[in-house]
Amino acid sequence: MDKRDWEEKYRGEELVFGREPARFLAENLHLLPQGKALDLAMGEGRNAIYLARHGWKVTGVDISETAVAKCLKRARQESVPVEAIAADLTTYPIPEGTYDLILNFYYLQRNLIPSIKTGLKPGGMVVFETYIVEQLQYEGGPRDPAFLLAPNELLDHFRDFRVILYRELVVDSERDPGKKAIASLIARKPEKQGLGIRD
């Protein structure tokens, strides 16, 4: 999908992905460091607003100006501070060593992963969840294999981090009837170089 497709998707008054945060984030909130958070491809801000409500200073980025406007409107309604930026993540520069937490939900841009790593402070954490190739067996999600993770691929991308939690499984979809095949990861950037888990 390109920017025009996303603008069309978010055009209505309804929240496309709902008001509730991603289940994986809510279930593991207690593991995550407080401080500054970056929510990549945030959509209408369900995760960004959730973090802000729980004390994080949150910046969210999404390609859709419509989605960003909906996030800001909802944040104002709920009286929570969220910085929301309309930008294309293929060109958006993640500032180095800035964030205690970076979220990446249901967006796969492999060449962004090094910037996610450098964007974290030492000891900062990443929460990443998206579709795996088994999704092709189910309705919904990407149909192009280029936007689906191979087995253990997400884990391999973060071998130099301390992996706190990792899973690949098929779960019930949070919003729609049916199943989705996903990989989910929480990992911590080493405090010092050379302290990550390696093969």
Mean pLDDT of 159-172: 96
- Whether residue 72 lies inside any domain: the answer is yes
- Whether residue 116 lies inside any domain: the answer is yes
Give the count of domains, the chain: 1
User: Which pLDDT value is given to residue 199?
Assistant: 40
pLDDT band at 192 (very low <50, low <70, confident <90, very high): confident
User: Which pLDDT value is given to residue 197?
Assistant: 44
- Whether residue 107 lies inside any domain: the answer is yes
User: Which pLDDT value is given to residue 79?
Assistant: 96
Q: Which domain holds residue 61?
A: 3-10+19-188
pLDDT band at 17 (very low <50, low <70, confident <90, very high): low
What amino acid occupies position 156?
A: D
Residue 166: which CATH number? 3.40.50.150
- Whether residue 195 lies inside any domain: the answer is no
Long-range contact set of residues 53-60: C-beta below 8 Å, sequence gap at least 24: 53/78, 53/80, 54/29, 56/101, 57/81, 58/82, 58/83, 59/83, 59/84, 59/85, 60/84, 60/85
Distance CA 48, CA 33 (A): 15
Nearest to 173 by CA among 48, 17, 4, 2: 17
Q: Measured between alpha carbons, how far is residue 125 from residues 152, 185, 193 in Å?
A: 19, 10, 15
pLDDT in tens, 79-121: 999 999 999 999 999 999 999 999 999 999 999 999 999 999 9
Best-predicted range by mean pLDDT among 1-5, 45-49, 177-181, 193-197?
45-49
- Whether residue 196 lies inside any domain: the answer is no
pLDDT at 30 over 60: yes
Query: Is the whole-model pTM more than 0.85?
Result: yes
- Whether residue 193 lies inside any domain: the answer is no
User: Which pLDDT value is given to residue 1?
Assistant: 62
pLDDT at 54 over 80: yes
- Whether residue 87 lies inside any domain: the answer is yes
Task: Give the Cβ contact number of residue 175 at 10 Å.
Answer: 10
Q: Measured between alpha carbons, how far is residue 13 from residues 67, 151, 176, 188 in Å?
A: 10, 37, 19, 37
Helix, strand, coil % over all residues of the chain, rounded to 5:
30, 30, 40
- Whether residue 198 lies inside any domain: the answer is no
DSSP notation for 146-188: GGSBPTTHHHHHTTTSEEEEEEEEEEE-SSSSSEEEEEEEEEE
pLDDT at 183 over 60: yes
